[in-house]
């Protein structure tokens, strides 16, 4: 059988098995199969609006996004390079593990994994290394939004498809083939909507510990939160500083906030769980109480396992999820590319939010032990 025919047969078999598995009707609409864990992928039309990512409709007859078909069905090992941000947070550790599990030798992949240690230059070098090694696909979790045009052009010239994952970039979408990630602006909006609901018109004096400077996750969460904050004249953002998405960074920024604003704030927003752990240590040391029974409302993002444990314990009031389980979706896109199938240019991995026991919200789910036990990461 020639290669093209083999691809067609594989795509047809895949489409049939997905249809049989999901009981979906072939109504010409895109179906996105949910990967393992509690990840859900957004249907067509629900694409992110953030800069640098524009959704393109899937071409061709078969519009199945094969997230469920993460395993390589081509019969040949697929070489994938992943230029990972670093190891700054529990979220990142979960994301790395997810890629290593999905892009395993047993699943038919050879994964070249580079931890770029939050260093832009190292990340560009990693991508150039993948191009030199002539890998089949390049996946990039971009540290910063800026500075991508040249290296993406180099990958394109070398004929290597690029998938941008997790975060977003400021580059024309003709320079990469697909994007898979979360809508961090929506996460910011959710956090602020929850706060407005919880405070019900009461004053808020807010301190924000931002993520890494120039990262789309920081920009999105800040923009979304600020958009809602602007509608509340009773809210004041006292200060907003980067804690670099790390526990040490969160602690350091919180210590300096306490020096400058002690007694003046009643809300602390940490743009990830690790920063929240650091902020809690700093508040504890200064005898400042936080959480459901405390003086300070604590909001966090990521909803990793430990973050949700703190939420269940009432130490974090609201934790907005950012789902790190994205490798199945990326592998589905790669499979579609490898077998000549169609795929979404933009796939959104959906998130939800959680609140501490005793809080009910239209924006978030109240934490329980069962929810925590059921989490895959």
Minimum gap (Å) between residue 299 Cβ and ligand GYE: 13
Number of continuous H segments (helices) and E segments (strands) in the chain: 11, 15
**Any contact of residue 302 with ligand GYE (CB under 6 A)?**
yes
Measured from the CB atom, the residue of 176 and 235 that comes closer to ligand GYE is 176
Residue 191 is classified by DSSP as: H
Measured from the CB atom, the residue of 79 and 92 that comes closer to ligand GYE is 92
Minimum gap (Å) between residue 301 Cβ and ligand GYE: 6
List CB contacts of 37: < 8 A, sequence separation 6 or more: 323, 325, 376, 377
Residue 183 is classified by DSSP as: -
Rounded to the nearest 5°, which phi and psi values hold at 123? -70, -40
**Any contact of residue 89 with ligand GYE (CB under 6 A)?**
yes
Stretch that binds ligand GYE, among 9-17, 21-29, 89-97, 124-132 (CB under 6 A): 89-97
Query: Could you give the string, one character per residue 47-86, with x where binding to ligand GYE holds by CB under 6 A and - elsewhere?
Result: ----------------------------------------
CA dist 135 and 130 (Å) reads 6
Nearest C-alpha neighbor of 257 from the set 244, 269, 274: 269
Measured from the CB atom, the residue of 91 and 137 that comes closer to ligand GYE is 91
Minimum gap (Å) between residue 224 Cβ and ligand GYE: 13
Minimum gap (Å) between residue 233 Cβ and ligand GYE: 30
Instruction: Give, in order, the Cα–Cα distances in Å from 49 to each of 10, 106, 182, 329.
Output: 33, 36, 11, 19
Q: Restricting to residues 237-256, which ones interact with ligand GYE according to CB under 6 A?
A: 245
Residue linked to tokens 């809690």: 280
List CB contacts of 339: < 8 A, sequence separation 6 or more: 7, 10, 11, 14, 73, 74
The burial of 71, by beta-carbon neighbours within 10 Å (0-12 exposed, 13-18 middle, 19 or more buried), is given as: middle
Which of residues 11, 217, 283, 318 is near ligand GYE by CB under 6 A? 217
Measured from the CB atom, the residue of 64 and 118 that comes closer to ligand GYE is 118
Q: Restricting to residues 146-175, which ones interact with ligand GYE according to CB under 6 A?
A: 166-167
CA dist 376 and 69 (Å) reads 19
Measured from the CB atom, the residue of 92 and 185 that comes closer to ligand GYE is 92
CA dist 5 and 8 (Å) reads 5
Minimum gap (Å) between residue 212 Cβ and ligand GYE: 7
Q: How many chain residues bind ligand GYE (CB under 6 A)?
A: 12
Alpha helices (H) in the chain, listed in sequence order: 3-22, 90-102, 120-132, 149-157, 184-199, 216-229, 247-261, 273-285, 305-312, 327-338, 369-373
Q: How many CA atoms lie within 13 A of 42 on its CB side?
A: 21
Residue 41 is classified by DSSP as: B
Q: Say whether 268 sits in a helix, a strand or coil.
A: strand
Minimum gap (Å) between residue 166 Cβ and ligand GYE: 5
Measured from the CB atom, the residue of 144 and 166 that comes closer to ligand GYE is 166
Minimum gap (Å) between residue 30 Cβ and ligand GYE: 24
Which of residues 10, 32, 79, 88 is near ligand GYE by CB under 6 A? 88
Q: Restricting to residues 249-288, which ones interact with ligand GYE according to CB under 6 A?
A: 272
**Any contact of residue 144 with ligand GYE (CB under 6 A)?**
no
Measured from the CB atom, the residue of 94 and 312 that comes closer to ligand GYE is 94
Measured from the CB atom, the residue of 72 and 272 that comes closer to ligand GYE is 272
CA dist 168 and 272 (Å) reads 17
Minimum gap (Å) between residue 150 Cβ and ligand GYE: 23
Beta partners for 110? Answer: 79
Which of residues 164, 322, 330, 359 is near ligand GYE by CB under 6 A? 322
CA dist 17 and 10 (Å) reads 10
Measured from the CB atom, the residue of 108 and 220 that comes closer to ligand GYE is 220
What token pair was written down for 273?
A: 């769980």
**Any contact of residue 123 with ligand GYE (CB under 6 A)?**
no
User: Applying CB under 6 A, which residues contact ligand GYE?
Assistant: 88-89, 91-92, 166-167, 217, 245, 272, 301-302, 322
């Amino acid at each position: 059988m020639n290669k093209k025919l083999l691809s067609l047969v594989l795509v047809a078999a895949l489409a049939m098995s997905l249809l049989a598995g999901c009981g979906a009707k072939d109504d010409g609409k895109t179906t996105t199969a949910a990967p393992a864990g509690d990840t859900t992928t957004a249907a067509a039309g629900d694409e992110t609006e953030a800069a640098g990512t524009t959704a393109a409709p899937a071409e061709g007859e078969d519009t199945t996004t094969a997230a469920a078909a993460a395993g390589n069905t081509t019969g040949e090992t697929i070489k994938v390079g992943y230029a990972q941000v670093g190891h700054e947070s529990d979220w990142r550790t979960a994301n790395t593990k997810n890629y290593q599990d999905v892009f395993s030798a047993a699943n038919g992949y050879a994964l070249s994994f580079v931890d770029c240690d939050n260093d832009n230059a190292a990340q560009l070098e990693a991508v150039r290394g993948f191009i030199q090694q002539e890998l089949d696909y390049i996946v990039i979790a971009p540290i910063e939004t800026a500075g991508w045009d040249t290296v993406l052009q180099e990958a394109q010239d070398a004929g290597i498809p690029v998938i941008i994952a997790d975060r977003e970039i400021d580059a024309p979408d003709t320079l990469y083939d697909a994007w898979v990630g979360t809508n961090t602006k929506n996460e910011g909006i959710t956090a602020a909507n929850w706060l407005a609901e919880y405070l019900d018109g009461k004053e808020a004096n807010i301190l924000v510990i931002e993520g890494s400077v120039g990262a789309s996750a920081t920009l999105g969460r800040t923009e979304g939160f600020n958009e809602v904050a602007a509608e509340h004249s009773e809210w004041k953002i006292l200060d907003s500083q980067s804690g670099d998405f790390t526990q040490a960074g969160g602690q350091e920024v919180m210590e300096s906030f306490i020096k400058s604003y002690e007694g003046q704030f009643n809300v602390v927003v940490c743009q990830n769980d690790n920063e929240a752990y650091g902020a809690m240590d700093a508040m504890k040391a200064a005898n400042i109480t936080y959480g459901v029974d405390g003086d300070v409302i604590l909001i966090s993002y990521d909803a990793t396992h430990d973050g949700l444990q703190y939420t269940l314990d009432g130490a974090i009031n609201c934790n907005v999820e950012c789902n790190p389980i994205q490798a199945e979706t990326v592998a589905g896109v790669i499979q579609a590319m490898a077998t000549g199938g169609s795929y979404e240019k933009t796939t959104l991995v959906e998130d939800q939010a959680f609140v501490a026991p005793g809080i009910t919200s239209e924006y978030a789910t109240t934490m329980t032990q069962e929810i925590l036990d059921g989490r895959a990461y």
